[in-house]
Each structure stands twice: as C-alpha cells, then as structure tokens.
Chain A
Amino acid sequence: MSDIVAKIKDIVGDEYVITAADMSQYLKGNEQPAAVVFPGSTEDVAGIVKAAYDADVKVNVGGKVVETKGLSGGIAVVMSRMNQIEEVDPENLTCWVQAGMNHQEFVEKLLEKKLNFPPEPYAVSTSSIGGCFAIGDVDSKAFNYLPTRTFILAYESVLPTGEVYKVGTKCIKCVSGYDMIHFIAGSRATLGIMTRVLVKLLPEPGATRAVVADVPSLTAAAKAFKAIQKRKVFPTRLNALNKALGNEIMETSGCLVLVDIESFPVSCTQYAKEVEAELKIAGATSTKIIEDKAEYKELWSKWLKVREKINQEENKVKFTVGPAKVVNALGSLSGIVGDIEENPGVLVEGLIGKTTVFTNPDANAAAINKMAMGLGGNVSGLLGSQLRNNAYNDKEMVEEISRVLNSIRSEFDPKGIMAPGIKL
C-alpha cells in the first residue's frame, strides 16, 4: 500500500497527500483509506486513478468530504483544489467550471454577472459542482427548469482505467453518438471522476417574488398547490414543510409553505397574488409576499440549509406521485408513518409531486412504495426501481435491470475500483 501512496505523492506532490490521523476531517464513514489526495488538475486525477487501477486499489471522490464505505486501504480524492471558474461565456450562456468548486459559491458568482444556474445544491455547505452532477438530483425547481442533468453540456473526466475522456460542446443540441453527456448525471463517480464541467446557464430572471404562508396542515397545503396549478400558475418552487422542518426557517403554528416565483415583472406580481389567494382559501393563518431582494435571498438561503439537512438524513424515504395526487398520498402516508404533521421531517415539493418523509426505510419503504404505486408513482431512485419490480413480483425485470447496470459499470470499470460503496 505504501507503493501506491508513494506513487501518488510523486504525481501531486507530498503536500497534497495526507496519510495521518488528520485525514478524518475529509472523510465520512467508518472505514480508513490509505490516503487523502488533493489533485490540482485533470492530469493529476488521471495519474492517481491510473496508479490505483494498476495496483487494484479502490478510489472514491468528493468535493470536500469523501464517503469511505468500501474504501478501506484505498484512495480518497478530494477535489477542493480544483475550484475555479475557467470561463464564463455570456453569448453562449455557458460556463466551464472545475468540478471541485463549491456549488453555492458558483451560483452566487454567476448571479453577479446576471446569469442563472438553477440546480439547487444538494448540501449547501459542502456540495461541489462535480457532486451536483454526480448525484444528478431532481430538485424543487425541476418542473420549470428540468432536472439537474439538463444543465450539463460537456465535461472532462477520468475513466476508472485512468484515461481522460472529454465529451460535449457548447451546443444545446447534440445527438452525435450515445448521450454520454447526460448519462453521467447521477452515476455517482462509478463511471469516472469528473474534473471539469461545461454547464448551461440562463439569463437572470426578470423579477422574483416569494410567498410564505402558515397553513394548518400539509394536506391543506397540497390542496392549495393543486388549485394553484389549476389556475395554470407554475411557480419555480412550490414547497411545504411540516412544523418540525418549517420552524427551522420561521416559526409557524402549522406547516410552512414556501413559494418561489421567478419570471418577468408583470406575471411575477400577478402570480404572487394568485398564489397568496389560494393559500388563504386553504386556511392560511398568515401569508406574506416578499419583494425585497435581501429578504428574498435570506429566505432561500434558509431553505437551502433545511434542504441540506433533509438530504443528509439517512432515515428517510423519498417518493413521487403525480402532482395532482399528492393530497391522496399524504392522506395515506400517515397510516404508514404516523401523524405526518408531528413527524421529525416531511417535505412536499408540489410541482414535481415529490414527498420526503423521515422514517426508517427498512421498516417503511416497501409500504410507502406500495401506496405510491397505487397512485401511479413510486419510491425514487434505485431503491424505488427494485421495490416497484418486487411489488409486481417481477424478478426477471429486477435481474435484467441489475444485469444492465452492472454490465455498464464493468465495461467502464473492469476491476471495480471506483466508488466501492455504491452497489447497483
């Protein structure tokens, strides 16, 4: 093992390799890698991965912190040195950025140039741009802006075999070959380490408003969300948090409704009033339309902290149903997890029909999935795919999907060195 660490020190320099006890601040989990490495370039990453591949040593990567599951004796690659915006191109509405740049810092730097990168950070205090696309989230804004993957136009990565791979252009249309550009989103470093990313930008919204309301229950909020959509009003975010989560943003007696409207001036004002009206019909005990930019910014900063807390909670289940069926889903959810108003954490993202509930997945995910399937939805992600097929008793489909996923992974990573904690 000392051979690989020595090789990596040769590649990046001694000062960028840690092997002592102070590795822990860069690690998440119980296992102990042989070293934490801080590459400064794509070439550094390629050298590290090639050395690890040749020595059959496991590798995982993170923006600031690396998950150590399965990484015992392996290499933890922390991308925080690769944290620069390389090029902002306002004419093409694109930006080349290094993968280790902090996601929220990136958003704020672009806003200074009146440019908008809509995807929300997964964990606002630590998430990097590389992590943003490695996770490939579908966030509260996805109804209007589409999922995170939509915002990747090109990238440079290091394949698990150590080769540098570059794909994509500044064109929003590209159907040359298999769509490896968007396929990378959500692959969680199993297909390689992204080092630089070309992202799609949008012009800064012409106007913004937020509407906040204290609504008696999540179900009442969900009914209001349905009514708002019936008016053909589609805000940027249309979220409700139960009392436990909502109170981390502002004190409420019921659930906290947070509505974000990014649009042009006339419609922004109109939509805010319509949203407020529907929330009052739903029984809101207080409502407020926020126009002041500083207050608006502060509200969404608080939301991002709550979002980080939700995403870092391990005991949770996320499920999606059609947006019009959220009311029914919430009604049934209490029957599975108990009173959702009193739960330690429930989030409803109304436009995308997604609900997150703090509960033990081992105990309740299958029941929640069954309920969601009854409403045309399912638990999200890989777990959801497995649960859905189990619910259909379709062992063959489970096996075939697993075979395809693992075939892809082994084509890219024949020795299975990358992201060892991820099981497909």
Chain B
Amino acid sequence: MLSQSVIAKLKSICGEKDVITSKIGMYAYGYDGTMLEGSHVGIVFPETTQEVVDLVNFCREQGIAIVPRGAGTNVSGGTLPTDGSIVMNFARMKKILEIDLENYVAIVEPGVVNWDIQETLANYGYYYPPDPASWKASTLGGNLGESSGGPKCFKYGVTRDFIYGLEVVLPSGKVIWVGGRDFSSEPMYDLTRILVGSEGTIGFITKAAIRIQPTPEAKRTMLAIFNTPEDASQAVADIVSAGIIPTTLEMMDNLIINTTEDHCGAGNPRDAGALLIIEVDGNPGDLEAQVETIGEVAKKANSKDFKVATSAAEVDKIWLARRVAFGSVARVKPNYGVNDITVPRSNFPKAIAAIEKVKKDFGVTIGTVAHAGDGNLHPLILFDQRKKEEVDSLHAAEMELCRIAIDLEGTISGEHGIGILKKALLPKEFGPVGMDVFKKIKRAFDPQNQFNPGKLVDL
C-alpha cells in the first residue's frame, strides 16, 4: 500500500484524476487475457513523456517497480502487475502526432489503438501491415512490447519490421531516441530491434516512428476446403514452392469449422477436416495467374472445394468464420487458452498430429486456428474455469504444446511473448548460454530490475 505522501507526489506528476489507488478502481487493471491476476498498489496514467520521466525517477527513488500497460489484451501475463508495483497505463498517450504519406512514416504515441491508425490511414489509401487479432482493442505500445504479428505477417513481416525509430524512457529516467524516420539511423547497435518485443522490461516507449505503405492495388481472396489438415498443410507448402508468397494463409480445423457454423452459419462444410483462407495482393495484372496456380495446387492437394471471391460480400463471407473463430468456441466450453507455438512450415503436419496426441493424452478439447504460412499455430484449449481439474489439464496441455514446438525445432512463442506464462520454458528453448545472454541485455538497461520485473527473464 502506498503512503499518502507517495500518492500525493504521483498526483502532483500526473494530476489528481490520473492516479488510482482504491482497490475497486485498480481491479480492472490487475488482469489481462490470461486467467491470472496481479496485486499492484497504484495505477498512473501519464500523458506526456516528461510525466513518464518524472514517474520513473520518483519510483526508482522509492524502490517501486513499474509495470507498463496498454489495453491489457496480453495473453502471456506480460502486463500483469507484480506485487507492490505501480501500473503505468499509457491509454492517455494516444495521439497520432504526424502522418507523412510521401515519406511512408507516421509518428504515434503508444496508446494509439492499432485499429485507429488503420482507419486513419485507410482514408488516404495507406495502411500499417501488422494486424494482430486484437487490433480493434490492442494499442501500438502493446504491439511493440510483444512485436505482435497477425495474418499479414507471412508476406509483410511482424511489428519489428515496421518500426523506424522510438522515443524511449529508460530505467535511468533518461529519454533517448533510437533509430529515426528511416532504417538507416541506428547508432550501430540496433537498439530499436532489441526494444521491440522486450515486453516493457528495458524501456518504456513514448513515441514510435512506424513505417506505413500504400494499400495494394488489388487483392484476391480464396477459400479451399480439405478432408484433412495434412492435405491443407501440403497445399501451403506447394503454394510457396510455386513462387507465391500470399498475404494470408489462414487455416481452421474441423472443430473450429463446426463451432463457427454453430455460431454464424458461415456456410462451410461441417465434415471438412480443414479449410484455408488464402489472399494474394499486388498488381491486378499479376493476380489472375497466381489465383490459377493456387487453384491447381489446392486441387493437387485433394481439396474438396476451391472458391474465389468475386465480390466484397463474398470476401466477407469467406472471412466470417475466421473472424468469429475464437469467440465461437464458447459454445463448447466457457473458456479457452490460446497458445502461439510456431514451427517450421515443413513440420506443420507433425505439429497438427502432435496436437491430436495432446488431446488424447490430456483429455482436453482443442480446436486449432493457424497462420499456416508461417507455421504459427493457435491451438485453443477449451475448458471451464470453474472446474479445477480442467484448469489443471489446460496448464499441463499448454506446457506440452510448448515442448512439442521446441522438439519440432520451433519456438514457444511466435507472437504473444513470454511474460510469466511461458517463462519457465524459456531455458529449454535457449539453454544456459542463451538465458545468460538475455540477462546481459536486461542488466545493461535495467540493472535495478525496476521495469516490469519478473517478466521474460529474472536477474
């Protein structure tokens, strides 16, 4: 619990209304997309970089840890408050400071919601490619903290690939700019890249120069239905082998097809083993040949059906099932745990088979959605939070999925981050030397372990 003098100082920095210390007021900021909760002692809502600096300096003097927070959509526990910490919520720092279309750059504050920048840019025929599933709620600060991905990553890359530079408040309380408004401005070490994805453990981002680009002239959306996930996986491999890098290669398995049919009647066959949503974009003159090739590949991989959307309404219909996929599983169980294991594309069929084994071994129900092009799977483990045995099975199955990913030469996190949920498995993926390297980075920035302590790596 904070003393009155500390609270008074925090209020003098942020303003009376922008400090919360009441239990009920803090509740909504104590959890994230996991089932876990933290116990913090206060929340502050800075509006300027200077306020962030003042808060960091004051908290350092007081020995108080700070946990940064955006919209709280995190699913790895990265934004969970640690005991006795103050949550720094960046929701008030939500200005789009500049959009420079001709030079492909926008300057934004961390509290800008991903969707909001997309809508703003769409007015000018531009966009920002990273599009995590949470984009209607998650903030760019959060996306930067996790180096978020999304369906378009296969062709365009993840968040780290679209960041030119950052204004950062370090644990020392000093403000630095790393990078610039282009890719050539790093001071030798690529500090931008080490900060992106660092989960708020080594610096707080207060401004970001993001790369924006013109919306592609045209896109084509296709739906391919398969008897088995293995056939769908083969189609994915063959599309890439044919020299085509689609914008999107989304896969859903039989369980998800059925829950989405129950939810919204998207019109997909309930007996299908898997479906692929495939999108290509670019010059309109190039797309017909690519669509034709993809159709041939799908046929060769035994697709039951292959459709090409011919109108915006048909595009929406194809995407409908994918958009409601996560929510639709509530018809089976009230809760789900979402994983983000990633494996090399060639091991995708093995990962699918391994998920089947986990279902049997742990007695859990799993529906799988995947960004199949980049081997990033989202096995949704369905459970009822009110039943302890189901929660226990969930945790055990999630750990097993991570072990499977490592055994298949993949990674335990493709886009959600480590936080606290996957921290225990990090040594298995990186070994003692790798873990020591992470500690070197943390120590170089935050030797007092003040920023988001207990996440990602311990000192």
Interface, chain A (partner B; CB < 8 A): 89-94, 114, 136, 138, 142, 146-147, 149-150, 159, 163-167, 169-180, 182-183, 185-188, 202-204, 206, 226, 229, 232, 263-267, 270-271, 318, 320-325, 352-354, 376-378, 380-382, 384-386, 388, 396-397, 400-401, 403-405, 407-408, 411-412, 422, 424
* Residues in A neighbouring B105, C-beta threshold 8 A: 322
Q: Which of B9-17, B27-35, B83-91, B432-440 is the contact stretch?
A: B432-440
How many Å lie between the Cα of A173 and that of B445 in the bound state? Answer: 25
Instruction: Beyond A92-B344, A94-B344, A206-B243, list 11 extra A-B contacts (CB 8 Å).
Output: A178-B202, A178-B437, A182-B190, A186-B188, A263-B286, A264-B289, A266-B286, A267-B285, A353-B103, A381-B185, A404-B176
A183 touches B376 (CB 8 A): no
Which one of B175, B184, B342 has the greatest number of beta carbons of chain A within 10 Å?
A: B184
Which residue of B is nearest A168, CB measured? Answer: B411
A408 touches B441 (CB 8 A): yes
A165 touches B283 (CB 8 A): no
Q: How far is the CB of A155 from chain B (nearest CB, A)?
A: 12
How many Å lie between the Cα of A182 and that of B185 in the bound state? Answer: 15
Q: A178-B438, A264-B289 are in contact. Are A187 and B189 (CB under 8 A)?
A: yes
Q: In residues 427-459 of chain B, which contact A (Cβ within 8 Å)?
A: 429-431, 433-434, 437-438, 440-445, 456-457
* Residues in A neighbouring B176, C-beta threshold 8 A: 397, 400-401, 404
Would you call B241 an interface residue if the criterion is a C-beta within 8 Å of the partner chain's C-beta atoms?
yes
Q: How far is the CB of A112 from chain B (nearest CB, A)?
A: 15
Q: A175-B413, A396-B174 are in contact. Are A147 and B183 (CB under 8 A)?
A: yes
Q: List 16 A-B contacts (CB under 8 A).
A: A138-B184, A146-B157, A159-B433, A165-B433, A166-B433, A173-B371, A175-B146, A176-B411, A178-B442, A204-B243, A320-B185, A322-B105, A354-B184, A384-B180, A384-B187, A404-B176
Which residue of A is nearest B443, CB measured? Answer: A411
The residue from A93, A377, A400 contacting B180, defined by CB atoms under 8 A apart = A377
Q: A175-B146, A320-B180 are in contact. Are A400 and B444 (CB under 8 A)?
A: no
How many Å lie between the Cα of A378 and that of B186 in the bound state? Answer: 11
The number of chain B residues touching the other chain, given as a range, is 35 or more
B182 touches A377 (CB 8 A): yes
The residue from A171, A203, A396, A400 contacting B342, defined by CB atoms under 8 A apart = A171
The residue from A90, A146, A175, A403 contacting B241, defined by CB atoms under 8 A apart = A90
* Residues in B neighbouring A176, C-beta threshold 8 A: 411-413, 418, 422, 426, 429-430
Q: How far is the CB of A116 from chain B (nearest CB, A)?
A: 10
B409 touches A170 (CB 8 A): yes
Which 9 A-B pairs have CB atoms at the shortest separation, nearest pair first?
A322-B103, A266-B285, A324-B102, A267-B283, A385-B187, A264-B286, A203-B243, A411-B440, A173-B414
B415 touches A175 (CB 8 A): yes
* Residues in A neighbouring B225, C-beta threshold 8 A: none
* Residues in B neighbouring A324, C-beta threshold 8 A: 102-103
Q: A175-B415, A266-B286 are in contact. Are A424 and B376 (CB under 8 A)?
A: no
Which residue of B is nearest A375, CB measured? Answer: B103
Main secondary structure of the interface of A (DSSP, over half): mixed
Q: In residues 120-173 of chain B, which contact A (Cβ within 8 Å)?
A: 146-147, 149, 153-154, 157-158, 160-161, 170, 172
* Residues in B neighbouring A229, C-beta threshold 8 A: 102
Interface, chain B (partner A; CB < 8 A): 100, 102-105, 146-147, 149, 153-154, 157-158, 160-161, 170, 172, 174-178, 180-191, 193-194, 196-198, 202, 214, 217, 237, 240-245, 282-283, 285-286, 289-290, 342-346, 371, 374-376, 409-418, 422, 426, 429-431, 433-434, 437-438, 440-445, 456-457
B190 touches A378 (CB 8 A): no
* Residues in B neighbouring A381, C-beta threshold 8 A: 184-188
A320 touches B184 (CB 8 A): yes
A408 touches B189 (CB 8 A): yes
Which residue of B is nearest A380, CB measured? Answer: B184
* Residues in B neighbouring A322, C-beta threshold 8 A: 100, 102-105, 181-182
How many Å lie between the Cα of A147 and that of B184 in the bound state? Answer: 9
A179 touches B240 (CB 8 A): no
How many Å lie between the Cα of A185 and that of B186 in the bound state? Answer: 11
Q: A177-B430, A267-B283 are in contact. Are A171 and B374 (CB under 8 A)?
A: yes
How many Å lie between the Cα of A354 and that of B414 in the bound state? Answer: 33
B188 touches A165 (CB 8 A): no
How many Å lie between the Cα of A388 and that of B179 in the bound state? Answer: 11
Which residue of A is nearest B345, CB measured? Answer: A92
Q: A396-B174, A411-B444 are in contact. Are A178 and B456 (CB under 8 A)?
A: yes
A408 touches B444 (CB 8 A): yes
Which residue of A is nearest B159, CB measured? Answer: A175
How many Å lie between the Cα of A185 and that of B440 in the bound state? Answer: 17
Q: How far is the CB of B209 from chain A (nearest CB, A)?
A: 10
A173 touches B194 (CB 8 A): no
Q: How far is the CB of B374 from chain A (nearest CB, A)?
A: 5
* Residues in B neighbouring A178, C-beta threshold 8 A: 194, 197-198, 202, 437-438, 441-442, 456-457
Which residue of A is nearest B242, CB measured? Answer: A203
B245 touches A171 (CB 8 A): no
Q: How far is the CB of A128 from chain B (nearest CB, A)?
A: 19
How many Å lie between the Cα of A91 and that of B343 in the bound state? Answer: 13
B456 touches A177 (CB 8 A): yes
B188 touches A188 (CB 8 A): yes
How many Å lie between the Cα of A146 and that of B153 in the bound state? Answer: 13
Q: How far is the CB of A132 from chain B (nearest CB, A)?
A: 15
How many Å lie between the Cα of A407 and that of B170 in the bound state? Answer: 13
Which one of A136, A171, A226 has the greatest number of beta carbons of chain B within 10 Å?
A: A171
How many Å lie between the Cα of A203 and that of B433 in the bound state? Answer: 34
Q: How far is the CB of B170 from chain A (nearest CB, A)?
A: 7
